A = this chain, B = another copy of it.
Amino acid sequence: MREKQITIRDVAKEAGVSVATVSRYLNNKGYISQKSELKIRDVMERLNYHPNEIARGLAKKKTRTIALIIPDITNPFFPELVVAIEEVAKSKGYSIILVNTQDGDMEDNHFWTQLQNRYVDGFILASFEMSERVVKAIENSKIPFVRIDRAAEDNANDSIGLDNYKGAKLAVEHLIEAGCRKIAHISGPKSFPPSSERKRGYVESVTDWAVRNGKESPEDAVIVYEGDFTLESGKLLTQVLMNEQKDVDGIFLGNDLMAIGCLKALKLMGYQVPQEVAIIGFDGIKLTEMVEPEISTIEQPIYDIGAVSTNKLIRKIEGIEDDHSLPDEPSLDIRLVARASTLGFGKFR
């Protein structure tokens, strides 16, 4: 059985101050005498009172708005994620404002002050690599937040992650199974954990495969070019790769947008896809089905990622504790979606 919840009123009464004073103390806003402060702190400790977000919310201006911070609006992964988050947020009475920004901008304290000034109730950070400094700025802002698309091992309470390493292994093993004999990887920025996880999966898969095949220097099987997740980098690096490396017949791209650029480059260079080169991406954006051949991919449950993170954030905002037995959390599994860009190659034909 649960004990009666201690409220801000109980604290005020016990400390002999007004509720407004306790609220000022909790929110670090406005004048409060040292004497009152000490009294409040003492009572809070005695009553074992931990102000939850609801209590703090009472004293704060609530706008039922969530800020969603994304790194690249031109990558369809993010618009698809935005739509999911908006839908879930709307169903719970919240609206969304979007901020499209670069890692660098977040280094600026001004960025966080601005966010506070906009009176958002919470924010969702999608796919960012953050320095210590930024993490500190976020904590200082005291706004509830959730992070998306971090490395899986980093799956803390405030963060939604998928197993990028496992996804990459699925992709590379699929290329191996198709019969590819020289598999290259065009990665995302190495500073970004999900892309280094994908690269790690690739490196391990091709190295193991080289060992299994009795190669003397298994590390020679590793061919990596570092891109930046854009269409253009997928296109450009494929051109560089195909010029610098002989006989590449399989390419694992760090995301789908680069895979679409890769497909374009291969066609321009006169390669038959998938007969001569098989390619596979990562993300599961709709456009992979619109190109010819359709591109195989490691599909992330984009909608569910949005839904889970939004629900998690709203629970934080409203001070509801995470209950992992609740059924509203679909499991966030990635899966291989094999399409013509690999199924038309070698053994699969």
Kindly provide the distance from the CB of A114 to the nearest chain B CB, expressed in whole angstroms.
7
In the complex, A130 has a CB within 8 A of chain B? no
> Across the two chains, which residue of chain B brings its CB closest to A95?
B114
In the complex, A240 has a CB within 8 A of chain B? no
Given A98-B98, A114-B65, verify A83-B74 contact (CB < 8 Å). yes
Report the separation of the CA atoms of residues A287 and B118 in the bound assembly, to the nearest whole angstrom. Answer: 35
Q: For residues 278 through 309 of chain A, which have their beta carbon under 8 Å from a beta carbon of chain B?
A: 286-287, 289-292
Residues of B within 8 A of A330 (CB): none
Q: How many copies does the complex hold?
A: 2
Kindly provide the distance from the CB of A92 to the nearest chain B CB, expressed in whole angstroms.
16
In the complex, A314 has a CB within 8 A of chain B? no
Report the separation of the CA atoms of residues A83 and B76 in the bound assembly, to the nearest whole angstrom. Answer: 14
Identify the interface centre among A86, A290, A291: most chain B CB within 10 Å of its CB: A290
In the complex, A16 has a CB within 8 A of chain B? no
In the complex, A82 has a CB within 8 A of chain B? yes
Kindly provide the distance from the CB of A84 to the nearest chain B CB, expressed in whole angstroms.
11
In the complex, A117 has a CB within 8 A of chain B? yes
In the complex, A99 has a CB within 8 A of chain B? yes
4 closest A-B pairs by beta carbon, nearest first, are A98-B98, A73-B79, A292-B292, A74-B79
Residue contacts A-B, CB under 8 angstroms, 11 given: A73-B83, A74-B79, A74-B80, A82-B100, A96-B99, A97-B97, A97-B98, A98-B99, A98-B100, A118-B119, A291-B292
